[in-house]
Structure 1
Amino acid sequence: MAFAATVLTLYPEMFPGPLGQSLAGRALADGIWSLEAVQIRDFATDKHRSVDDTPAGGGAGMVMRADVLASAVDLVLERQRDAPMLAMTPRGEPLTQGLVREIASGPGISILCGRFEGIDERLFEARPIRPVSIGDYVLSGGETAAIALLDACVRLLPGVMGAPSSGEEESFEAGLLEYPHYTRPYEWEGRRIPEVLRSGDHAKIAAWRKQMAEADTRSRRPDLIERHGGARRRSPSGAQREDEG
C-alpha cells in the first residue's frame, strides 16, 4: 500500500510544489506515495470563510480557530486512522532523523500547517496532534516546513532511492554529521582528494570517514555530540551503522 500524505493548509496550491520533482516527484508519479491537500477554509461556517480571530488577552496578529481546524482535522483523522497527525509550528519538538524514519516506516502522515500567530492551544488538548518544528526560526507558514518533512520521509520509502543502503551513512543517522565527500578531478585549484580515499583500503577509508565525521560534528554541531554521546554507533532508528565497501 502506498504511503499516504495529507496536508491541511490554507494554500493547497503550494502542493506538490518541489515534491513533484526529482526523487519525490518520480515516486509520486509511480504511486509509491500519494499526496492530498485539504483546504482548511472549506470548513469555515461564516460567509467570509473565516479561519482566524484576534488573540485572547490582546496582542498583534491573528490566531487560527480551534473549532474550524477541528472540523478539518476530524475528517482527515477519520480517513487516515492509522496515520499520525503532526502540526508544523515553531513551538513544536525538533524534527529529527529518528522521527523521520519512524514516520516513513508507517502507512502515512497527516500534517496541519500553522499560519498567522499560531493555533488555538485547545486544539492540541482536544485532538491527537503532535507539534513539530524544523528549526529555531519562524516561517510565514507551516507549508514550507511540511514540504521539508515530506521530502525527508519520501526519500526513505522502499524503491525511492537507488539502493536500500543509500541513507545509512548520511548526516544524523549515527548522531553525527556526515563525513566530507570528494569526486573527480583528482586535483582542482591546487586541492587534491585525500590519498586515503584513493588507497583501496576499505578499513582505512572507513576509519578516516568516522574520524572526519566526529571532527566535523564536534566543530560545527557540538550539541549533537552531547545529545547522542555513546549512541553514535547506532542510528536513531536502531539500525546498526555499516561501513561502506
Structure 2
Amino acid sequence: MRKFLFSLLFASISLVHFGQKDSVNYAIDDSLYFEDRPNYIGFNLSPLVSGIVGDYNKDVKFSLIYKHNLGFKNLRFSANHIRTVHPYPYNSYQVISTTDSSYDARFNTHNYRSFDARFGIEELRGYRHARLHIGADLILGYASYREEYYDKTIALDSSGVYRIQDQDFDIPTGYKSGNYFNFGVDVSFGFDWFISDDFLFTFQITPQFNYNIKLDEILADDNNVLVNPKNFADFKLNYFDVLLVYKF
C-alpha cells in the first residue's frame, strides 16, 4: 500500500515537471496583476503523506479547492472531508479493577467525521516564482461523532502471560453517537510555489474553529459510564495542507 502511495505521489510531481516552462508568466516588475488564467483547481496531498508515514491519532483532511484570481486577492471555495484516524480497535484504555491473576480493563475509542463547504478570500504578496498569502473562510457542514467502550478481562494463561479472554471488539459494552450541524471559521497562512505556467504547489497552515450543534443522538450504556451527547466546540491547530493546483 505504501509503495502505491509513493508511486502516486511521484507520478503527480513528475506530471508537473514535464509540463514545466522556462519562465512563469505571473509577475511584471515583481508585482501582482490580473492573470491571463485566473482560475485554479487543486486537491490536498496531505492524506497521501499521512498514509505513507502511518501517522495515527490525527485528523486527516481531504480537500478539493477552487480559486478565482482578482489581482491582489483570490476568491476561494473548497469541499472538505475530515476524519479522525486511530489504531484499530481502540485508542486508549484504563484498568478498572484487579485480582492476583487478572484485571479488568476498559478500552475506549472515538470517531469524528465531517463534510463541509468553505467560502473565503485570501490576500497575496509575491514575486515571479513564489508568493505568500493569508486568508480566511466561513465553514458550513455536517459532522458525526461516536464514542464506544469495551470492558474486557485480562487474565494469566498457563504460560504466565496476560491475555484478553474475549477479543471480540465488534459489539461495544456501551456507546453514544450524535449528528451535528457544523459551522466555524478557518485562517490560512500559506506559500505558493509556481513550478510551471500550469501548476503550482501550495503549502499552508490552516488552524480552524468549529462549533457543533447537535441534531440527534443515541445513547446505549447500561453501566452509565457515558453522558448524553451535547453541543461542543472544536479548535484545531495541526492542519498542514499540501495542495497540487492547476491553473486555467
Q: Per the shorter chain, which TM-score range?
A: under 0.3
Counting strand residues as a fraction of each chain, which structure ranks higher? 2
* TM-score, normalised via structure 2 length: 0.23
- Which of the two has higher C-alpha Rg? 2
